[in-house]
Amino acid sequence: MYSDNRFRAPAAAIVRGAAAQAGLWQHSISGDLPIVLLHIDDIDDIAIVQQLLRAHMSTGG
């Protein structure tokens, strides 16, 4: 939703996780749609979860 490098994984982690789409199939994930992972440490940040869900629903998800 927002491009903020503070929340981006280190470059080495991104490279380590990069693989072909077919690598997802063994986990029953097609890879056709973007995958979003959100982690909050505090329930006070629930508004971020709500914002993410609203954004997802507005894109037809």
Q: Among 37, 3, 35, which residue's Cα sits nearest to residue 19?
A: 35
Higher confidence at residue 31 or residue 1?
A: 31
pLDDT per residue as tens digits for the range 12-51: 988 888 888 888 888 888 888 878 888 889 999 999 999 9
